[in-house]
Amino acid sequence: MAHGIGELDTPCVLIDLDRVMANIARAQAHADANGLKLRPHVKTHKLPQFAKLQVEAGAVGITVQKLGEAEVMAEAGLNDLFLPYNIVGPRKLARLQALNQRVSLAVTADSEATLAGYSATFADTGKPLRVFIECDTGGGRCGVPTPDRAVLLARKLIISPGLVFEGLMTYPPAGRLAQSELWLSDALELFDAAGIPVPAVSSGNSPDMWRLKGGVVTEARPGTYIYFDRYQVEKGAATFEDCALTVLATVVSRPNGTRAVLDAGSKTLSSDLLGLEGFGYIGDYPEAIIKSLSEEHAVVELPAASAYPRIGDTVRIIPNHACVVSNLFDAVHVVQGGAVIETLAVAARGRVD
């Protein structure tokens, strides 16, 4: 039953449903207009309900980052999952095999060791595992370091029993999409010369999504766009008015004219700075800086001495990074027109393995 935001205890997470729907629609329209498949990363919301909204809007499936997230989403009825991760070790491979029987599933590999584990597990299951080669196009995390190595690993993949080569995948370096696309173009030329078809090229992240115009990349895996956050606004991917996730917090102390302390600390906002100054943006006090966090306190510095906000007042914070906030809450409140219309359990929260 709908009730007012004022009836909620703080800190808590509010999700503006109208903004969620607008963000989903805008990303899908961009993907459609540019001939891209959209496969949203559900790590941002961790909610099967929102994953289904994304698929209903036209997404080809979803992206998950951990097996545990995949299991939650499969249980909820999502049936086309990409898990862009090297799945390693006998326990995880057994879970992966069970999952592959239930849904359409693809994973990544960036080494022969990972491929060997996949092949040993899937050689005799009757349903092969679909595998992308992960490429380090400049991000410096996982991935084969050069296009040549991508071809070498693909050759190995193709002759591995139980596996199917699905294409190339990268998490591009932030703000260097052109460099990433050049790397992938070079790779596609080598694959072409080697006579190996590349069914798909998948690239991640929300800020770069708007710059993807089809061509090299065939499938996009943005996550944060469903909520956006302060980092995305800083990167020009959205405005504060697009941000769908806010943290509702209460002022618990006003030690002096320029300091206010909120009941939302790193257990609520996380300590992610992402290169920004302060730990979030307070809509009603745009010049205020969330200067430091301890686990249960945020220390806010006001630009000039002021009696406001007063002790007991609530404020809404747009966090630096929405995804990590979702992981800190057992439930979020869906709001529309100033009323709470539903409270959703964050079903895939805390699925670390």
Residues that bind its own copies (CB under 8 A): 7, 9-12, 43, 65-66, 85-86, 88-89, 91-92, 110-111, 113-114, 117, 134, 136, 140-145, 250-256, 259, 261, 263-264, 266-268, 270-273, 292, 294-297, 299, 310-312, 323-324, 327-330, 350, 352-353
Q: Which residue type, as a one-letter code, is found at position 198?
A: V
Between 185 and 250, whose beta carbon lies closer to its own copies? 250
Nearest distance from residue 111's CB to its own copies, in Å? 6
> Is the omega angle on the peptide bond into residue 128 within 30 degrees of 0, that is, cis?
no
Distance (Å, whole) CA 293 – CA 271: 7
Distance (Å, whole) CA 83 – CA 228: 22
Nearest distance from residue 296's CB to its own copies, in Å? 5
Residue with tokens 């995804």: 323
Between 22 and 120, whose beta carbon lies closer to its own copies? 120
Between 31 and 138, whose beta carbon lies closer to its own copies? 138
Nearest distance from residue 29's CB to its own copies, in Å? 27
SS3 label, residue 105: strand
User: Which residues 6+ apart lie within 8 Å of 37 measured at CB?
Assistant: 31, 60, 200, 218, 219, 220
Between 33 and 308, whose beta carbon lies closer to its own copies? 308
| Burial label, 81 (beta-carbon count in 10 A; 0-12, 13-18, 19+) | buried
Nearest distance from residue 117's CB to its own copies, in Å? 8
Between 185 and 271, whose beta carbon lies closer to its own copies? 271
State the DSSP code for 296: S
Between 34 and 327, whose beta carbon lies closer to its own copies? 327
Nearest distance from residue 343's CB to its own copies, in Å? 13
User: Which residues 6+ apart lie within 8 Å of 222 measured at CB?
Assistant: 27, 38, 40, 41, 204, 205, 206, 209
- SS3 of 298-328: the string is EEEECCCCCCCCCCCCEEEEEECCHHHHHCC
Between 36 and 85, whose beta carbon lies closer to its own copies? 85
Between 160 and 266, whose beta carbon lies closer to its own copies? 266
| Burial label, 67 (beta-carbon count in 10 A; 0-12, 13-18, 19+) | buried
Between 262 and 282, whose beta carbon lies closer to its own copies? 262
Distance (Å, whole) CA 348 – CA 251: 30
Nearest distance from residue 298's CB to its own copies, in Å? 10
Q: Distances in Å between the alpha carbon of 71 and those of 48, 89, 163, 164, 231?
A: 11, 17, 21, 22, 29
Distance (Å, whole) CA 116 – CA 156: 10
* Cβ 69 vs Cβ 250: under 8 Å: no
